């Protein structure tokens, strides 16, 4: 489903506001105000997007002008009202931009300016009216503001406070009332030394714990703590070559596994779908086709996942639908693309897709390394099915042995008390756990050689040769006897 013109326009204007905030060296506020007139026919909403960053240049709105063929005006009259001033200006300037006008001289009209009375300040406000469905639009803009908070708008050279607020004002004949859906005190204060990927990780965790909705608190129905979140991240860049565009791709993946005893209502409703959030230059935006193609071409099966289908929803988010997920589990993904220097050359599609794939793979590998036993490959899952039988056989050999010294040594190597009474079931359970750890360890080494693998029983002081990666071949089948 195509994203509406009004929503495209809002995203573009908010991206401009965030860019002005990033340039500023002062604390900034990004505000979205909706004034709703439900008594009008059809219902009318006036949208004002304002920021306290540097004053805007009228050239910024060329992006809107160039994109007017993609941004139709079925739900609005094509007119933008712009108010802006820079810190050194003595006046506040007002403009009217009519994107429907075909005569260049009539498109941009300068309106009477206003003298500054309250000292030095800077900022911009852009407003327009729309007849789009009010309830749907309010839900969408609330979600969009939540996504802005996810990225936590990094500033590189100083401590910076950025607050984001969303206010809806309902106006009718009986008076007006205000509803603050996103409060300014939810702004984030983060040190400049904090890497962008950590900001994105923290933001996505908050988003997941609130299910992306307008609630001010974490969902207590699905989560008791952040321990239910398994988080992996990856960062890929174009390298240091002269031809590099200086592009960075950051990916964060959150896997949520909630105990069945909680009977999580929200996660159950999510089903087997993953909504991928995409950010470009610290602003939420629709996912490019090249990124969607890259996501679809990833070897998900190597991580125990089977992608059934993929598409872009009406809000511009990529949606990945899986064949099967563990019960009460969900996957959330966020991608952020930006440049650390102005690109000198145009990046080719295949280079960009490789960057996306590399970052996603790094995030998946990070998850496997942090949380052994998840995202196992089909080969590892196949081997793990033999673990119970192998554990039972080894435990039986230990328990049935008449050699008391042998039994005591085996039990000790398993980490159990050799002087106590150990049942065969306890030995079997311990061996199964160790076999599972070894399988997970081997599954995290896709380029390992066929040399010595980890020992099932390990004793301090026993020398074992480290096995090394050999070449770039794909992971070979693990023989259960190698364990």
Residue 299 has pLDDT above 80, yes or no: yes
* Residue 173 vs residue 365, higher pLDDT: 365
Q: How many other C-beta atoms can be found within 10 angstroms of the C-beta atom of residue 391?
A: 21
What average pLDDT score do residues 305-328 get? 85
In tens, the pLDDT along 219-256 reads 766 766 677 789 999 999 876 554 556 789 999 999 98
Neighbour tally for 286: CB within 10 Å: 19
The architecture CATH gives domain 195-375: 2-Layer Sandwich (3.30)
| Residue 250 near residue 291, CB atoms below 8 Å | no
Instruction: Name the phi and psi angles at 469, rounded to 5.
Output: -70, 140
Joined tokens for residue 333: 């993904």
pLDDT at 188: 47
Output DSSP code: residue 472.
T
Give the residue-averaged pLDDT of 79-86: 92
3-state secondary structure of 259: coil
Q: Could you tell me the CA-to-CA distances from 10 to 78, 129, 140, 203, 309 in Å, in that order?
A: 13, 11, 11, 21, 29
Name the pairing type of β-strands 329-339 and 273-280: parallel
Q: What is the pTM of this model?
A: 0.74
Q: What residue spans define the domains of the chain? A: 1-192, 195-375, 378-482
Question: How far is it, in rounded angstroms, from Cα 144 to Cα 7?
Answer: 10
Which of 230, 208, 226, 204 has its CA nearest to residue 371? 230
Task: Report the first-to-last Cα separation within the chain, whole angstroms.
Answer: 51
The average pLDDT across 364-378 equals 88
CA 200 and chain centroid, separation: 7
Mean pLDDT rounded to a whole number for the chain: 76
Check if 1-192 and 195-375 are the same fold: no
- Quote the CA–CA distance of 449 and 446 in Å, as a whole number: 9
Range ranked top by mean pLDDT from 6-20, 291-305, 396-410: 291-305
Q: Dig out the tokens for 182 from the structure.
A: 């996103």
Backbone dihedral region of 297: left (phi > 0), alpha (psi from -120 to 50 degrees) or beta?
alpha
- Give pLDDT, residue 293: 92
pLDDT band at 53 (very low <50, low <70, confident <90, very high): confident
Please state, for a pLDDT cut of 70, what percent of the chain lies above it.
70
Q: Under 8 Å CB-to-CB from 57, ≥6 apart: which residues?
A: none
Q: Which residue has the tokens 């106006």?
A: 171
**Cβ(187)–Cβ(161) under 8 Å?**
yes
* pLDDT average, residue stretch 117-143: 84
More confident residue, 72 or 275: 275
CA distances from 316 to 4, 8, 22, 76, 151 (A): 10, 9, 24, 20, 17
| Higher-confidence position of 315 and 303 | 303
- Up-side HSE of residue 351: CA atoms within 13 Å toward CB? 13
What number does CATH give the domain 1-192?
Answer: 3.30.565.10
The least confident of 102-116, 314-328, 449-463 is 449-463
């Amino acid at each position: 489903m195509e994203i509406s013109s009004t929503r495209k326009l809002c995203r573009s204007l908010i991206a401009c506001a965030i860019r002005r905030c990033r340039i500023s060296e002062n604390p900034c506020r990004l505000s979205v105000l909706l004034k709703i007139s439900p008594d009008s026919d059809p219902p009318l909403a006036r949208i004002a997007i304002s920021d306290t960053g540097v004053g805007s240049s009228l050239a910024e709105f060329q992006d809107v002008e160039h994109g007017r063929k993609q941004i139709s005006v079925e739900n609005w009259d094509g007119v933008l009202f712009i108010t802006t001033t820079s810190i050194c200006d003595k006046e506040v300037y007002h403009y009217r931009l009519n994107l429907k006008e075909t005569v260049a001289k009539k498109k941009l009209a300068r309106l009477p300016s206003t003298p500054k009375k309250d000292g030095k300040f800077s900022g911009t406000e852009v407003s327009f009216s729309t007849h789009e469905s009010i309830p749907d639009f309010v839900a969408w803009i609330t979600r969009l503001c939540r996504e802005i908070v996810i990225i936590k708008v990094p500033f590189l050279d100083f401590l910076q406070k950025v607050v984001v607020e969303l206010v809806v004002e309902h106006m009718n004949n009986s008076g007006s009332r205000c509803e603050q859906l996103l409060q300014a005190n939810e702004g984030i204060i983060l040190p400049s030394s904090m890497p962008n990927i950590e900001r994105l990780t923290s933001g996505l965790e908050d988003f997941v714990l609130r299910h992306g909705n307008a609630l001010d608190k974490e969902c207590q129905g699905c989560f008791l703590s952040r321990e239910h979140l398994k988080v992996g991240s990856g960062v890929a860049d174009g390298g240091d070559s002269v031809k590099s565009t200086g592009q960075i791709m950051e990916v964060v993946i959150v896997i949520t596994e909630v105990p069945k005893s909680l009977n999580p209502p929200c996660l159950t409703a999510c089903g087997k779908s993953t909504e991928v959030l995409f950010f470009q230059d610290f602003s939420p935006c629709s996912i490019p086709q090249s990124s969607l193609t890259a996501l679809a071409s990833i070897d998900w099966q190597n991580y125990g996942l089977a992608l059934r289908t993929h598409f872009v929803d009406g809000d511009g988010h990529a949606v990945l639908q899986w064949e099967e997920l563990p019960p009460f589990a969900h996957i959330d993904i966020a991608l952020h693309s930006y440049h650390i220097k102005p690109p000198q050359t145009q990046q080719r599609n295949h280079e960009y897709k490789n960057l996306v794939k590399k970052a996603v793979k790094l995030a998946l590998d990070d998850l496997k390394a942090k949380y052994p036993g998840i995202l196992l490959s089909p080969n590892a899952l196949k081997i793990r099915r033999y673990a119970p039988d192998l554990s039972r056989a080894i435990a039986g050999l230990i328990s049935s042995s008449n050699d008391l010294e042998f039994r005591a040594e085996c039990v000790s190597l398993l980490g159990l008390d050799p002087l106590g009474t150990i049942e065969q079931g306890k030995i079997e359970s311990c061996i199964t756990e160790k076999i599972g750890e070894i399988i997970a360890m081997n599954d995290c080494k896709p380029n390992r050689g066929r040399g010595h693998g980890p020992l099932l029983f390990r004793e301090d002081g026993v020398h074992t040769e480290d096995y090394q990666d050999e070449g770039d071949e794909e992971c070979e089948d693990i023989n259960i006897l190698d364990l």
